[in-house]
Amino acid sequence: MTCLKYLVPLLAPFAVYSMFTFADVNGTIVAVKSARASGIIPGEDTTRLILTYTGIGPLDNVFVEVVIGFWATGRGTICAHLMCCILFLCAMVAAWILLFVELTRRRGPIEATVRAGILGLIAQIIGPGIVIPVLVAWDLFRIEPYDSPIQDSTHSLVQDILPLGTICAGIPPFATLLIPTPYVVGYDLKQCLIVIFQFWPVIASVATLALFSSHGSRLQEQKPHKWTPCLDTPYGLALLCAGGFHLSVYTLGIVAQIVPELFGPDTAADIHPFRIVLPTLPWSGARATSIEEGVFWLLQWDYLIASVSLLIWALEYTSSRQRPSVSFALRALVLAVICGPTGAAVKLMWERATRIESEREKVTTGINEHVK
């Protein structure tokens, strides 16, 4: 065990401060409330906001504020905001896959799927930067790292169905944020799509459960008699989402600094890697010049705190199976730089899963030889 887990309980209250208290201080919350009161979408001259979705006042207010906050993503007037949003959303898909896989180690397939959907929805609504540190702290302080292998009966759910459900039903809702209006979809439909996007963990869970119910037994029967569940597919997809997009975004930012003529001086300055990776300090006294800028600052802290929490969680689980060392810490740091904190967490948990399954295979082989 390392001492990093004692930092996790402090991250949730700091997330509240750096995200919402800072948003109040820098004027973002006031601007959002003003936009809601005016009934006009920010940046659109006469386009009306949809104010009623469910007929439940508090819930509709949340949806309206979500639409106001995410509307700027599709407009792309702040390129750094768009790139940060892509980083954040892809990292959260990877985080959801990690959560799902770990739940299947401890629960049955149906219960694990339902829990993943509910916990993902809570994190999406409240904010991953607040919810993920709470979940990580609860897991690290409640029990010792759970290193049981995936059961054979659940293997097809994790190895085959989960990646398919994520690709078919988990990732497409993110694309709705980037659909241009009014050229492809109308303003009203785009607002409804943004609201639906908030339920992507539930949509992905329902699709995964439906696919497992209809195809899980058939896939399990097609497995060879002797096999080792390596879980390459879900971990590979998670690493592609978190690490691949992290590397792509920062490579684009570095290229823009080396050859600014390709992007123009303003865009090159906007997507500087330091501008994307280093959030504005909440005690800096900075004031947001627009709702888009304020939401950009909030997403930066949301992404950073959630990702660091996941990395600490992975480090704790990995260090429980090997002695921490300087080389281990340096390797984790290099992974975090190349793949991002969430990508590094995925890579470490992938290696841990491989060791667990390898140990199970050795035990199974030894028992079979002893019986013979």
> Does residue 301 belong to any structural domain of this protein?
yes
pLDDT computed for residue 294 by the predictor: 92
Where does the pLDDT of residue 226 fall: very low under 50, low under 70, confident under 90, or very high at 90 and above? very low
In a domain, 101, yes or no: yes
Could you read off the pLDDT of 110-160 as tens digits, one per residue? 899 999 999 999 999 999 999 999 999 998 887 666 667 777 667 778 888
pLDDT value, residue 225: 41
Q: What is the CA radius of gyration of the chain?
A: 22
pLDDT value at residue 244: 92
φ/ψ region of 135 (left if φ > 0, alpha if ψ in -120 to 50, else beta) reads alpha
Q: pLDDT of 12-44, one tens digit each?
A: 999 999 999 999 999 999 999 999 998 888 877
Confidence of residue 9 (pLDDT cuts 50, 70, 90): very high
pLDDT at 236: 93
Say how far apart CA 326 and CA 1 lie, in whole Å.
14
User: Mean pLDDT across the stretch 292-311?
Assistant: 94
Specify the 3-state DSSP secondary structure of 40. Answer: strand
Q: What are phi and psi of 121, to 5 degrees?
A: -65, -40
The verdict on residue 168 lying in a domain is yes
Alpha helices in the chain (DSSP H): 8-16, 22-25, 28-38, 57-75, 79-106, 109-126, 128-142, 152-156, 162-165, 172-175, 187-197, 200-222, 232-239, 245-258, 265-270, 273-277, 291-319, 326-371
Structural domain range at position 33: 4-367
Task: Please say if the pLDDT value at position 242 is more than 90.
Answer: yes
Instruction: Kindly tell me if the per-residue pLDDT of 11 is higher than 60.
Output: yes
Q: Does any domain span residue 39?
A: yes
In whole angstroms, what separates CA 228 from the centre of its chain? 28
In this predicted structure, what is the pLDDT of residue 135? 94
- Beta-carbon contacts of residue 119 (< 8 Å; ≥ 6 apart): 99, 131, 135, 201
Backbone torsions φ then ψ of 180, nearest 5 degrees: -70, 145
Per-residue pLDDT for 216 more than 60? no
> To which residue do tokens 């501008």 refer?
275
Contact call for residues 357 and 149 (beta carbons, < 8 A): yes
Residue 343 to residue 94: CA distance in whole angstroms: 8
> Among all chains, which residue has been given the structure tokens 């059961």?
151
Between 254 and 152, name the one with better pLDDT: 254
Q: How far is CA 87 from CA 65, 231, 276, 352, in A?
A: 22, 24, 10, 25
Model confidence at 101: pLDDT above 80: yes
Alpha-carbon span 5 to 133, nearest angstrom: 10
Domain count, the chain: 1
pLDDT confidence bin for 218, thresholds 50/70/90: low
Q: Is the pLDDT assigned to residue 241 strictly greater than 90?
A: yes
Q: What percent of the chain has a predicted confidence (pLDDT) above 70? A: 87
Q: Is the pLDDT of residue 199 over 50?
A: yes
Residue 45 lies in a domain: yes
Is residue 54 a part of any domain in this protein?
Answer: yes
* pTM, to two decimals: 0.91
Residue 178 per-residue DSSP state: G
Mean pLDDT for all residues in the chain: 85
Structure tokens at 303: 């992404």
Q: What percent of the chain shows pLDDT beyond 90?
A: 44
pLDDT 10s digits, 318-368: 876 666 678 888 999 999 999 999 999 999 999 888 888 777 666 555 554
Residue 372 lies in a domain: no
130 contact partners, CB below 8 Å, separation of at least 6 = 12, 15, 16, 19, 305
Residue 40, strand partner residues: 48
Instruction: Indicate the burial class of 189 (C-beta count within 10 angstroms; 0-12, 13-18, 19 or more).
Output: middle
In-domain check, residue 208 = yes
pLDDT higher than 90, residue 179: no
Q: Would you call 281 helix, strand, or coil by DSSP?
A: coil
Token pair listed for 85: 């949003």
Alpha carbons 18 and 22: distance in angstroms, whole number = 5
Neighbour count for residue 354 (Cβ, 10 Å): 15
